[in-house]
Amino acid sequence: MIEYGYIMKRITIITTGGTIGSELSRGALRPTADISGLLTTATGQGAPDAEYRFIPLMNKLSENMTGGGTVRIVRAAMDALEKSDGVILTHGTDTLEYTAAALSYAFGLSCPPVVLASAVLPPSHPHSDAPVCLAACAAVAASDMRGVFACFASGERVTVSRASRLLPYLPYSGERFTLGAPFAYVTGNAVLPCPDYSERPDELPPADISALALPSDVLPVLPVPSCALPSPDGKRAVAFISFHSGTLPTARADFADYCRHCLERGVKLYAVCSSPSVLYESAEALSGLGITVLPRMTPASALTRLRLGLDLRLSLGGDILCD
Ligand code: GLU
C-alpha cells in the first residue's frame, strides 16, 4: 500500500517596510507598524495549512532603497528558501520593480515561489489592500508555481505578475501595469493562470547580483524637450528611456551631439522601452547614432541587466516579452 503523507508547506515572510508596514504617526506615514497580527491573519486566510516564519529585515520606505539594501533582501530570500517552500516579501511600491528585477535575476524561473506583497493604503486604513494582497501572496507561496512574482490587490481581485515584468506606478494614479499579460489572477484561494501570458524559458543561469551594491556606472537618461542631458563622465553605459512610442529625439542636434560625445569617451548607448520593430523614422535613426535597441523589457529590468552586465538578448526570469 502506498501512503501519501501530507506535507505542510513552510513559508517565510520577510518584511522590509513600505506602506504595507507603515502607520500614521506624528502626521506622516512611517514604516514602523507592528504588522505581525495582520501577517498571521491574512496569510492564514490565503494558505491556512502552512507553517509561517517571520523575518523583520528592515523598516524602509522604498524610495530610500539602495543597491546594498536590494542585495540584503535578495540574500535574505535565498537564505529563507533553504528552509522554506515559499517566501513572501513585503515592500513599498515606489521602487518595488527594482527589487523585483533583482530577485528575478538572482532566482530565474525554477525556484520555489518568491512573491512580493505591497499595499497602496496602510494596514490601519479601513479600505487597505494589504490583507487581500497578503492572503493572495500566501496562496502563491504555498502553490507549486515556480519563480518570482508580485501580487497587487484591487478590491477582491488580485493580479499576479511576473516580477521581471513590472512597469512603474503611474504618477498620482496608484495604477500599475505589467509588460504584456499578467501571469495569473487570485480569487479566494484559487490561483488562475492567465491564458494570454507567455514567457521564454531561462536562457541564462541565475545571476550573481552582488554588483548592485557597488556604485553604479549606468546612467539612465530621459531626453525630454528643453532639459539638460547629464554628463556621462565616468559611466560605462547610458540607458536612454524612450518615449511611449519607442522613439528618442534622434533629429535633435543636442541629442546627436550627446551621443557622439558619449561614444568618443567609450560610453555605450542603449535604448530602453523601444524595440527593433518601431516604425518611426526617429527610431530608424537609432543605430546610426550608435544606440543599441534592447529587446522589449521594463525599465527596471533593463537597468538592472545593464548594471549586472547580463547578455542582453537572452531571457532570464521571464523578463523579455515574447514578440
Ligand atoms: N513611499 C512608499 C514606499 O514606496 C509608498 C509606496 C507604497 O508602499 O505604497 O515605500
Q: Are strands 148-154 and 114-117 parallel, antiparallel or unpaired?
A: parallel
**Position 276 pLDDT exceeds 90:** no
In a domain, 317, yes or no: no
Residues 265 and 162 in one domain: no
**Position 1 pLDDT exceeds 60:** no
Residues 178 and 300 in one domain: no
Cα(291) to ligand 1 centroid in Å equals 34
Residues 139 and 185 in one domain: yes
In a domain, 102, yes or no: yes
**Position 84 pLDDT exceeds 80:** yes
Does residue 18's CB lie within 6 angstroms of at least one atom of ligand 1?
yes
Residues 179 and 296 in one domain: no
**CATH number of the domain enclosing 55:** 3.40.50.1170
pLDDT of residue 316: 98
pLDDT of residue 178: 94
In a domain, 205, yes or no: no
* Contact by Cβ (8 Å): 31, 59: yes
Residues 105 and 236 in one domain: no
Residue at a domain's end among 193, 224, 242 = 193
Residues 52 and 120 in one domain: yes
Residues 183 and 220 in one domain: no
C-alpha cell at position 126: 479601513
In a domain, 242, yes or no: yes
Does residue 35's CB lie within 6 angstroms of at least one atom of ligand 1?
no
Cα(183) to ligand 1 centroid in Å equals 23
In a domain, 200, yes or no: no
C-alpha cell at position 171: 504618477
Could you please report the per-residue DSSP string of 142-190?
A: TSS--SEEEEEEETTEEEEEEGGGBPPPPTTT----BSSS-SEEEETTE
Residues 233 and 134 in one domain: no
Residues 155 and 76 in one domain: yes
Where does the pLDDT of residue 7 fall: very low under 50, low under 70, confident under 90, or very high at 90 and above? confident
**Position 180 pLDDT exceeds 60:** yes
At a CB cut-off of 8 Å and minimum separation 6, what does 129 contact?
A: 119, 120, 121, 152, 153, 154
Where does the pLDDT of residue 155 fall: very low under 50, low under 70, confident under 90, or very high at 90 and above? confident
**Position 216 pLDDT exceeds 50:** yes
Chain-wide mean pLDDT for the chain?
Answer: 95
pLDDT of residue 118: 97
**For a pocket test of ligand 1, which of 20, 59, 89, 94 has the largest count of ligand atoms closer than 8 A to its C-beta?**
94
In a domain, 198, yes or no: no
73-83 pLDDT, tens digit each = 999 999 999 99
Residue type, 164: S
Residues 125 and 183 in one domain: yes
Residues 182 and 283 in one domain: no
Does residue 120's CB lie within 6 angstroms of at least one atom of ligand 1?
yes
pLDDT of residue 153: 93
C-alpha cell at position 148: 518570482
More confident: 258 or 190: 258
At a CB cut-off of 8 Å and minimum separation 6, what does 113 contact?
A: 86, 87, 140, 141, 143, 145, 146, 147, 148, 149
* Contact by Cβ (8 Å): 239, 274: no
98-110 pLDDT, tens digit each = 999 999 999 999 9
pLDDT of residue 233: 96
Residue at a domain's end among 132, 161, 193 = 193
The protein residue whose alpha carbon is closest to atom 8 in ligand 1 is: 92
Residues 189 and 290 in one domain: no
Supply the range of the domain harboring residue 109: 10-193
Domain count, the chain: 2
